[in-house]
Copies of this chain bind each other. A is one copy, B any other.
Amino acid sequence: MPNLTLPLADARRLGRELFTAAGAPPDEAALVTEELIEASLMGLDSHGLLRFGEYANWAREGRVKPGAPAAIVHETPTTAIVECGLNFGQVSAAFMVNLARHKAAAAGMACVVSRNCGHVGRLGAWPQKLAEQGFLGLAFANSTRHGHWVTPFGGREGRLATNPLAYAVPTSGQPLVMDMSTAMIAEGKIRMLMHQGKPIPPGAVIDADGRPTTDPQAFYGPPHGWILPFGGDLGYKGFGLSLLVEIMGGLLGGFASTDHGRHINGFCLLALDPDKFCGRARFQELVDDLAAYVVGAPPLAEGGQVVLPGQLDFRTRARRLAEGLPLPETTWRQIEQAAAALNLDLGWARVGFAHRLS
């Protein structure tokens, strides 16, 4: 079955119509659409157009509350806890980016944490926005207990989510954007491998009895298995990093890891202003110098090269901006179903697709 390619303008209209029909104010619909499109552009398809249908369903079902205002429930010049009201995570995260940026510009640094935050999507997007304005940004995202697929090192049952962390740093060109899970693999990726009939990379998961497996079926059971923390034999490092994400993303804001929240992510954003250290110009010069130095290492593999965090994603972005966004047939079907449930006519889009399919 051929995959579709969606021009950017069509994707934009599609998302806005869908989320508006699902109850989002136009500005929020536009914001969520842009962030999902941006994730697809950067090659992170699992956090891109794939989510259009799911997000629309969530809003229709009341799991997400479009229009819910963000409210600062606790605040100091450098810190804040933001009640997100179960709005789209992107709406909340964008609010928190602005808050962190203003605080860091005034106070040198800031740390902002969420309560009742939705799915923030591509985690690296948020520190990236800080870096694009000259700040050093770090982000942490935990999940509520239903997402606890990942074992603590040495354990045989999940106690943590895949708990990603991300950071971004300004350079004279595109920022460095690092975005990594503290687990060996994302649950969504295992699902994808199962659908493709492919094995899971060795050392990433165990079955319900604690035995290593590469079989997605053995992983999903029932009874289902668990994902291991990042690091293999050194997995105590991934576990330790995951605990840090849990503490920053969940605990600082007052949420217990053992609670079952209605939200999705606990989100924490840290911003530092290089102007309050060695100075913005000097800092950027030093990051450029570091980037050139590491990229200048001879490649380990013939024809290989050292790439900076985010560099491949920015290349994908340039290509997809020109070529359009890939849209698997199944994703399109889900979007159609979500639209139908909202009595939304996507006739214009379907025609476009049929044309491209022929």
User: Is A206 in contact with B78, judged by CB distance below 8 angstroms?
Assistant: no
Choice from B237, B254, B258, B309 contacting A240 with Cβ under 8 Å: B309
Residues of B within 8 A of A71 (CB): none
User: Is A300 in contact with B155, judged by CB distance below 8 angstroms?
Assistant: yes
Q: Which of A91-99, A191-199, A280-288 contacts B (4 or more CB under 8 A)?
A: A280-288
> Nearest chain B CB to A357's CB is how many angstroms away?
36
Residues of B within 8 A of A256 (CB): 286, 289-290
User: Is A253 in contact with B277, judged by CB distance below 8 angstroms?
Assistant: yes
User: Is A231 in contact with B233, judged by CB distance below 8 angstroms?
Assistant: no
A residues 167-185 in Cβ contact with B at 8 Å:
167, 169, 176, 178, 180, 184
User: Is A286 in contact with B243, judged by CB distance below 8 angstroms?
Assistant: no
Choice from B78, B184, B233 contacting A201 with Cβ under 8 Å: B233
Do A78 and B290 contact each other (CB < 8 Å), given the known contacts A278-B252, A297-B156?
no
Do A155 and B108 contact each other (CB < 8 Å), given the known contacts A243-B178, A252-B277, A289-B257?
no
Q: Does A301 contact B (CB under 8 A)?
A: yes
This chain: how many copies in the complex?
Answer: 2
Do A113 and B277 contact each other (CB < 8 Å), given the known contacts A233-B201, A297-B151?
yes
User: Is A247 in contact with B157, judged by CB distance below 8 angstroms?
Assistant: no
Q: Please report the C-alpha to C-alpha distance between residue A332 and residue B296 in the assembled complex, in whole angstroms.
A: 43
Chain B residue nearest to A278 (CB atoms) is B254
> Nearest chain B CB to A277's CB is how many angstroms away?
4
> Nearest chain B CB to A98's CB is how many angstroms away?
18
Chain B residue nearest to A78 (CB atoms) is B108
Interface string of A265-291 (1 = CB under 8 A from B): 000000010101111001100110110
Chain B residue nearest to A160 (CB atoms) is B294
Do A76 and B258 contact each other (CB < 8 Å), given the known contacts A113-B277, A234-B230?
no
Q: Does A299 contact B (CB under 8 A)?
A: yes
Do A300 and B156 contact each other (CB < 8 Å), given the known contacts A108-B79, A230-B231, A293-B258?
yes
> Nearest chain B CB to A246's CB is how many angstroms away?
6
User: Is A76 in contact with B108, judged by CB distance below 8 angstroms?
Assistant: yes
User: Is A258 in contact with B289, judged by CB distance below 8 angstroms?
Assistant: yes
Residues of B within 8 A of A167 (CB): 240, 244
Chain B residue nearest to A204 (CB atoms) is B234
Apart from A154-B301, A257-B286, list 18 A-B contacts with CB within 8 A: A74-B277, A78-B108, A81-B277, A107-B107, A152-B295, A154-B304, A154-B306, A154-B307, A159-B294, A178-B241, A180-B240, A230-B231, A230-B237, A243-B309, A252-B274, A252-B283, A253-B277, A257-B289
